[in-house]
Amino acid sequence: MSADPLDLAAIRQDYARQELHEERCPASPVDLLHTWLQEAVLAKVLEPTAMNLATVSSDGRPSARMVLCKGVENGQIVFYSSYASRKGQQLASNPHAALTFFWPELERQVRLEGTVQPLDAAQSDAYFASRPYASRIGAWASLQSQPLSSKAELLLQASKWGLRYPFTVPRPAHWGGYALTPVLIEFWQGRPSRLHDRILYQHNTAEGWRTSRLYP
């Protein structure tokens, strides 16, 4: 193998910003997630709400992509997408999903696992109405995850839907919100020499949330 001028294996980052103490962790991991999201926003990291969403097809094959967290409400994590997209089809056949946040500037990762349900129509309507006009038109113009013949076709679809809805844009039935109800949330804080802090919260109906520390 020839020498790689871009030596990926030599890139090393040591982490030392903060520590994670179990005795300072709140009873609810959703409260801690909220705090970490707030700290990511205050630290002005790029896309503090971006999270990786992993879904699984009906034949057990995983796929992952980024989505934006649009709320942490009633113990659930909310995001929006097309129900007809690849992820939407996978969630319809298998509601089990995982989410991962990574804030490199804070040397923090949060992993969640749980089940995903569509939001009720009223909540999706309210969020859709708050989006900029062009994004609302985009939801009509995009058959998310379907093959697109050309970029021009997408622009044509956007102008077509713009003419159809010049002022008020209703929410398309194929577009709306999802809420993940977590049963597992793990907080990871980078530490020197790869001796990172990992605090795992697991939920069961009898005992609620229980915490444990994991080897890094």
Query: Which residues lie closer than 8 Å to 27 by C-beta, 6 or more apart?
Result: 208, 209
Active-site residue, from 65, 194, 210, 213: 194
Provide the 10 A C-beta neighbour count for residue 145: 15
> By CB under 6 A, which span of 74-82, 93-101, 129-137, 155-163 interacts with ligand FMN?
74-82
User: In the bound complex, what is the minimum distance in angstroms from residue 50's beta carbon to ligand FMN?
Assistant: 4
Question: Which among 180, 168, 166 has a CA at the least distance from the CA of 80?
Answer: 180
For ligand FMN, give the closer residue by CB, 90 or 189.
90
Q: Is 76 in the site for ligand FMN (CB under 6 A)?
A: no
The answer to whether residue 66 forms part of the interface with ligand FMN (CB under 6 A) is yes
Contact 188, 197 (CB under 8 A): yes
Q: CB 80: neighbour CB atoms within 10 A? A: 20
Active site residue 65: no
Of residues 116, 61, 65, the one with CA closest to residue 91: 116
Q: Which stretch binds ligand FMN (CB under 6 A): 6-14, 59-67, 132-140, 179-187?
A: 59-67
| Between 45 and 68, CB nearer to ligand FMN | 68
Q: Which is nearer to ligand FMN, 135 or 212 (CB)?
A: 135
CB of 12 to ligand FMN, least distance (A): 26
Integer Cα distance of 177 and 118 in angstroms? 6
Between CA 166 and CA 157 the distance in angstroms is 14
| Position 50 contacts ligand FMN (CB under 6 A) | yes
Residue from 15, 48, 78, 80 binding ligand FMN (CB under 6 A): 80
65 contributes a contact to ligand FMN by CB under 6 A: yes
Give me the torsion for CA of 55, 57, 62, 68, rounded to 10°.
-20
CA dist 184 → 62, 64, 132, 148 (Å):
18, 18, 34, 37
Question: Closest CB to ligand FMN among 20 and 51?
Answer: 51
Which spans of this chain sit near ligand FMN (rule: CB under 6 A)?
47, 50, 63, 65-68, 79-81, 85-87, 144-145
Which sequence positions are flagged as catalytic?
194
